[in-house]
Amino acid sequence: MNDQELKTMIQSILSEVMAKEEVPLPSRAESEQNQEIDSLSHATESEELPDISATRIQDQYLVPHPFNKEAFMKLKAKTPARVGLWRTGTRYLTEPMLRFRLDHAAAQDAVFNDVDEEIIKKMNFVPVKTICQDKDEYLTRPDFGRKFDDENAEVIAKTIKPNAKVVVLVGDGLSSAAIEANIEQVLPSLEQGLKNHHLEIGNILFIKYCRVPSMDQIGDITNAEVICLLVGERPGLATAESMSAYMAYRPHVGLAEAKRTVISNIHSGGTPAVEAGAYIADTIQKMLDAKKSGVDLY
């Protein structure tokens, strides 16, 4: 039997087998999933697919035939948790799964991307960096994100006026997206709030590869009375744009974390940036009056 005869025989056998096999009916879960995929992919070549991020998770309720949808929607309005999204079998529906992947990707981008250089220039920040050499070292060596080498310490000493009452710093932290989304709104509000208290801030440092305790070494270098660090927080699936303000009275290397005052969740879905700026200014004035910060302030 030559090669051609062998191929012909194999094709004949395969054809007979395929003809005898019955196509199984899809399960209920598969049917639901197929219907959902069809609904998401109905757009023609001339149409764009819907933007799944346009709908707030708090407004998304996919449970069919709910017992009390109104009560559940009231609950959802209070949290960005992924509840009431239903399922296909034991899995998420396609749209919630895509949204999960979208939010996860946004969180990764916030951590691994650097703050846009154009924003640093636009805001007239003076750039410095900790002893971290790159993003990988920053993520794996938190202690390096707290220290400056001699060259950067010299820039800090020349930029910040010695013995200043208030020093404001900006650091990338764990979310570049948080700085890009909030800093242009929070700083004008903060500056205006401080002016209302007859306080002024000078030049603002931008700290690359910044951890919160980096403000402590700056306190030692400048002998500032109060330091406020605006920094990107670790992103989650609810938002990748959350910024916090860490403040301390007379910060120094070795300062206990309990001595810091924190205003967190500064983002569009939390405390708005403009409102946060005014609140930060009032808090700084309270710290100056009490000469305390953190748990000692309350």
**Conformation bin of residue 168: beta by default, left when phi > 0, alpha when psi is -120 to 50:** beta
Residue 95: φ, ψ to 5°: -65, -50
- H-helix or E-strand spanning residue 1: none
Distance of alpha carbon 13 from the chain centroid: 58
Q: For the chain, what is the radius of gyration of the CA atoms?
A: 28
Cα–Cα dist 71/81, whole Å: 16
Q: Is 23 annotated as a binding residue?
A: no
Tokens of 46: 């001339």
Q: Is 126 annotated as a binding residue?
A: no
Tokens of 122: 């636009």
**What is the residue type of 88?**
T
Cα–Cα dist 45/34, whole Å: 20
Residue pair 247/287 in contact by the 8 Å Cβ criterion = yes
Helical spans, DSSP H, in 49-175: 69-76, 94-112, 117-122, 135-140, 150-159
Residue pair 217/207 in contact by the 8 Å Cβ criterion = no
Q: Which of 155, 128, 108, 130 is nearest to 209 (CA)?
A: 130
Tokens of 102: 């979208």
Known binding positions: 212, 233
Known binding positions for adenosylcob(III)alamin: 212, 233
